[in-house]
Structure 1
Amino acid sequence: MTQLTLRDIMTRDLTTVDGGATLKEVATLMREQDIGNVLIMDGERLAGIVTDRDIVIRAVAYGHDLGSAITDYASDNVFTMDASSSVQDAAQEMSNRQLRRLPITEDGKVVGIVALADLATNATGRADEQALQGISQPTG
């Protein structure tokens, strides 16, 4: 049996914005596309990722201006994995790092994203299931 790679399960339809996008613009994109994350790009380089939760917890909860730059609320130094990596390795890394979304690269360029739900749907073995269990667990 062939081992699944991230290329096999990743979502290729990415929603991206540049760093000049505002909270309102990104939130509107999320609503229109029914998605929970947007990648922040600096040209072809991944500069960050912002989730619907980031917008609520880091901005709305504090009453910040919806015209604020999205980069103020995005996570930077985003961990990525290569498209040829195994699903099992990705599940383990996501568990170790407490990630729910993982941008996927090929030749240094972002080509997809894998969400926790993608791993859960495509988990093929016990190791994947064990790794997934740790992702949503509260840390000590």
Structure 2
Amino acid sequence: MAQTVRQVMTAPPVEVSPQASVVEVARRMRDEDIGAVVVAEDGRLRGLVTDRDLTVRVLAEGGDVTDRRVQEACSAEVVTVSPDDPVDRAVELMRSKAVRRLPVVDRDRVVGIVSLGDLAVERDPDSALGDISLADPNA
């Protein structure tokens, strides 16, 4: 069983700049089959945007989305972990902060992302969440 976040994180994470268009970000999420993208400038974390953020903060408002930027949709206050943190720390942070993804930061640089699904697969691949996380995506 993995002991550190480094052993379960996805690296490198998909990164976009705060000025990226929300349409571009949504397409990257679709094409790479991911639910979250790190928002960074010069390798430094500026936020995290999820598929839900795009839906709730941009699409639900209606109107033309072609000129909207990801900085309008991302969560700027992001809870992070270090790659050397114990997996239990990531679990506790997700539980206490009610988040499903944590950017992994090492010396002010984003080096990965760890998701609830990653932890479920690591801890109990036969659980419902572990099973879903291991399944092929819907077409």
- Structures share fold, TM-score greater than 0.5: yes
* Other-structure match for 1:90: 90
Q: 1:44 offset after TM fit, Å?
A: 1.6
Tell me whether 1:35 sits opposite 2:34 in the alignment.
Answer: yes
Residue of structure 2 in register with 1:54 after alignment: 53
CA distance in 2, matches of 1:54, 1:8: 27
Q: What TM-score do the two structures reach when normalised by structure 1?
A: 0.82
- After superposition, the C-alpha distances for 1:26-77 in whole angstroms (9 at most, x for unaligned) are 1111111111111111112100010001111111111143220110110002
SS at match of 1:94: helix
Q: Distance in 1 between matches of 2:16 and 2:116?
A: 22
Runs of 4+ with >4 A deviation: none
How far 1:91 sits from its partner (Å)? Answer: 0.2
SS of equivalent residue, structure 1 residue 20: coil
Distance in 1, Cα, partners of 2:116 & 2:2: 18
Matched residue type, 1:121: V
8 Å CA contact 1:87, 1:123 repeated in 2? no
CA distance in 2, matches of 1:81, 1:64: 36
Instruction: Please say if 1:73 is aligned against 2:73.
Output: yes
What's the counterpart of residue 120 of structure 1? 120
Matched-pair contact (CA < 8 Å) for 1:19–1:41: yes
Q: Which runs of 5+ in 2 are unaligned?
A: 128-139
Q: Identity rate of aligned residues, in percent? A: 37
Instruction: Out of 37-46 and 2-11, give the one that drifted further.
Output: 2-11
- Deviation of 1:107 after TM superposition, in Å, equals 2.2
Q: 1:3 to 1:51 in 2, by over 3 A?
A: closer
Aligned residue type for 2:89: D
TM-score normalized by the length of structure 2: 0.83
**CA distance, structure 1, for counterparts of residue 122 and residue 69 of structure 2:** 36
Question: Whole-Å Cα distance in 2 between the matches of residues 117 and 56 of structure 1?
Answer: 21
Which consecutive unaligned segments of at least 5 residues does structure 1 have? Answer: 130-140
CA distance in 2, matches of 1:95, 1:38: 21
